[in-house]
Structure 1
């Protein structure tokens, strides 16, 4: 039986720090030095610290529409409402106007998350005390049903850019990403595979951006289909989009990385362990379509997060002049070892193989 996958709590903080670089600021230094036994407690600490910092700068305000009866004209006149007031002998005008308010969706989400964490049995008392302090400033903000939030419609611009990390953290808390089903002194079962894969991808991408400044390109990129110029455009539109998780380039050399976070790294059939066929077909397709001239300057890696399985893939192949690898990243190790593993992938597939 395969055991549940676990990750050191400290490493989750590091991954969040890379995914949301704001956590590397001095305001969060105290969190980085603490030992957390529960990831929910970690999220509570980050939210309390981030919200306190935001309060110093002022809560985000946006225009909200109000309807009210006023003695003087303000905004737009509500004709029907004013007539109704006249009939009732009320000498007031029904007005509709916009006013800057802190009672908006962004602050409502933060308030809702704070209240949720205050009820959590896994959040320590000192963290709850910090949350209670910042929650005092949310009295005039309305409660919200978390199920009604359209997370994909939330927009960030100059005035509320600081909210992006906090709102993403709230999303983690409320979308079943935190599963405290097993707890130990140093590690615990955490995010679900589907959502942990998103964090895993963001972390790896941000790591290469931070520590490999010699690379010309570090991004998530769309791979174009290598098709003839005279291809029928009506047919091309039926081709699926190829979106790589991570695209690294230095000079003419390219490394495409596809990150995968599964409970079971390998597929098993008749007691035979093999790489997930869809994963291998996918990375091979990316590489061959990117290497238009068949130069061999493009390589690809499927990067799995290590599980507790006895067999984990660590192999590489030359496929049609291109180097394809399947590697495993151990997230349940000291962070210095995680860095070494990521540097080794870039070294083997982007630097050494083209020397």
Structure 2
């Protein structure tokens, strides 16, 4: 049985990451929209080459790193003990300890290591390899890392290095060879971001898409109050929505689902997951208690190959509920159109 994460148009991996991580100026990657890619490593190489070129124009990240060196002139501070040892060997140098601003940072080391890895990959197009080589010429002073020992969890991002975030994720995917091709050459995401990780990427992508293109609907991942004040027992789970869109007296709560099948079977009848239905029902009913307007709910599934369900809506206890499927196996313009149509329900 096929799953939502089994097949995706290759280029959409980039778009989902770009929105989810909010890290890259889409203008830097416009040319990727008109290029075709035969496999995922070729796409990752293209993203990395374009990212390295854009980063070169902005300036590679630099950090101050401690250094020690024997110098004829003082720099930084003098290490007295080591300088005395030099004197004992009849040398006039000063052993200096200083901080040097360098491009040999950990993130740049990851970039260079990944670029060299992709240069050796037979799946990467020759033009992409030439693009990578041009950027590597400017990274001669950057050290290499052992790909098996990269501390991915140690990466920290802020406003000045935010453009590195998606590039580090590209490097992670490439170095671990987690994007697999099935027998037909299609992209498989099951081993890239399996389970909860893929689900979080999917819901974060949807939220950030709305934040970028539908900001007047105040997109947010809001927490819904149980409505019972301080007397709520500790064992009650928090009600955290994936996406909430609000416009005047209309509010739409979206619960994104990107795993498993959409319809299950109960006594030979196809039904939606009772757990998913109960979850969105609870969100809507509790939100309506505190919202002065119309509250509706939606289960937004990543479409699977065998799913016939496209769009259904119904009225229950005074609230409208929707089930939609988002087809990731199409050009991104089609994905955007589907998301825009959903926003139109409240916008």
TM-score by length of 2: 0.83
What is the 5 A alignment of 1:335-350? 335-348=332-345, 350=346
Deviations 1:72-101 (A, max 9, x none): 433244354345445555444433211100
Contact 2:327–2:335, Cα closer than 8 Å, also in 1: yes
Contact map agreement 1:259 1:303 (CA 8 A) in 2: yes
Is the Cα contact below 8 Å between 1:64 and 1:101 reproduced in 2?
yes
Contact 2:249/2:293, CA 8 A, preserved across alignment: no
Mapped to 2, the partners of 1:89 and 1:143 lie a distance apart of 37
2:187 alignment partner in structure 1: 188
Deviation at 1:124, TM superposition (A): 1.2
How far is 1:277 from its partner? Answer: 4.0
Mapping 1:4-23, distance limit 5 Å: 5-19=6-20, 20=22, 22-23=24-25
Show structure 1 runs of 5+ residues with no match. none
Runs of 4 or more off by more than 6 Å in structure 1?
none
User: 2:169 corresponds to which residue?
Assistant: 168
Structure 2 counterparts to residues 18-97 of structure 1, below 5 A: 18-19=19-20, 20=22, 22-25=24-27, 27-97=28-98
Question: Residue 241 of structure 2 aligns with which residue?
Answer: 244
Give distance in 2, aligned partners of 1:335 and 1:299.
27
Report the CA distance shift for 1:271/1:85 in structure 2 as closer, same or farther (over 3 A). farther
Q: Is the 8 A contact 1:9 1:188 kept in 2?
A: yes
* Contact 1:68–1:95 (Cα < 8 Å) also in 2: yes
Q: Distance in 2 between matches of 1:294 and 1:61?
A: 48
Which residues of structure 2 form unaligned runs of 5+? none
The 3 A distance-change label for structure 1 pair 335 and 138 is closer
Q: Is the 8 A contact 1:177 1:196 kept in 2?
A: no
Give me the whole-angstrom Cα distance separating, in 1, the residues matched to 2:80 and 2:282. 63
Q: 1:54 to 1:333 in 2, by over 3 A?
A: closer
Q: Distance in 2 between matches of 1:89 and 1:268?
A: 87
Aligned length: 342
CA contact (8 A) 1:41 1:122 kept: yes
Aligned-partner Cα distance in 1 for 2:323–2:300: 6
Contact persistence 2:302–2:328 (CA under 8 A) = yes
Of stretches 328-337 and 104-113 in structure 1, the one that deviates more from structure 2 is 328-337
Provide the TM-score with structure 1 as the length reference: 0.81
The 1-side partners of 2:267 and 2:94 are apart by 79
- Map of 1:1-355 to 2, 5 A cutoff? 1-2=1-2, 5-19=6-20, 20=22, 22-25=24-27, 27-174=28-175, 177-184=178-185, 188-190=187-189, 191-194=192-195, 195-215=197-217, 217-221=218-222, 223-231=223-231, 236=234, 239-268=236-265, 273-293=270-290, 297-312=294-309, 314-348=311-345, 350=346
Per-residue deviation, 1:129: 1.7
How far apart are residue 11 of structure 1 and its match? 3.6
Task: State whether residues 288 and 294 of structure 1, in contact with CA within 8 Å, keep that contact through their aligned partners in structure 2.
Answer: no
Look up the SS of the partner of 1:43 in the other structure.
helix
